[in-house]
Structure 1
Amino acid sequence: MLTLYHYPKCATSRKGKAWLDRHGLSYRIVDIVAETPDIETLRDLWQKSGLPLDRWFNPSSGLYRELGLKDRLPSMSDDEKLRLLAAHGKLIRRPVITDGKRVTIGFDEATMERVWLRGEGA
């Protein structure tokens, strides 16, 4: 079963949820803002995703802009970035979907099909 880290007010997150529903995939929902993953969970998800940690940030977030992260992220350590993500679920790009081995972030239909329908790597 998949885990969908979801924020109900986020249009992109709702697209990911709708896509899973359309394809009949089972998942459990974790509200990424109400139940923000802790640092170790985020570290594990990030490493399994194979993506640069900066891609985990949601640049559309008002908090992202308020904190000036566009300019600050390049000089921050991975631990600092993970602490920030764990402290503010709205900073995390969503949806985050995992089966415990693979992880996708954001909504890209081609990636969703490749990973969650065909079973290829993220």
Structure 2
Amino acid sequence: MKTALFIHYPKCGTCRKAAKWLKENNIEVKDRDITKQNPTVQELKEWIKTSGLPIAKFFNTSGNIYKENNLKEKVKTASEKELLEILASNGMVVKRPILVANNLVLIGFNEEQWTEKLK
């Protein structure tokens, strides 16, 4: 496997668990801090398509921005273009970690899923 892209928030406990798991399993990654480099609209489009998941799965539903801006309702009614722009506007709106590798995009850390997909 070529080097995977690991997009994370360093202060996030789940992201730290995922990083530890990657290291323990000798999976080489290129780190990217989501607060310093937001995913672009184009990247998000590609990742959503590759993942096969609905765009709603890419939102960090437990984050303050999601709650303060009532994004739960907006996700139900907004166009894909609007939702992509919201996601690309602030990395803290995006669910993390994200692992992008070999025609595979994993959102959030689920050890069982990551083991199945990456080993």
The normalised TM-score by structure 2 is 0.95
The answer to whether 1:61 aligns with 2:63 is: yes
2:24 corresponds to which letter in structure 1?
R
- Distance in 2 of aligned mates of 1:3 and 1:91: 19
Unaligned runs of 5+ in 2: none
**Paired-residue identity, %:** 32
Q: CA RMSD, aligned part only?
A: 0.8
2:114 corresponds, among 108, 112, 115, to 112
- Total equivalences in the alignment: 117
Q: Does 1 or 2 have the higher relative contact order (CA < 8 Å, sep 6+)?
A: 2
Aligned-residue offset at 1:33: 1.4
1:19 corresponds, among 15, 18, 21, to 21
The normalised TM-score by structure 1 is 0.92
In the TM superposition, 1:6-85 aligns within 5 A as: 6-85=8-87
Q: Which residue matches 2:4?
A: 2
- Distance in 1 of aligned mates of 2:51 and 2:111: 16
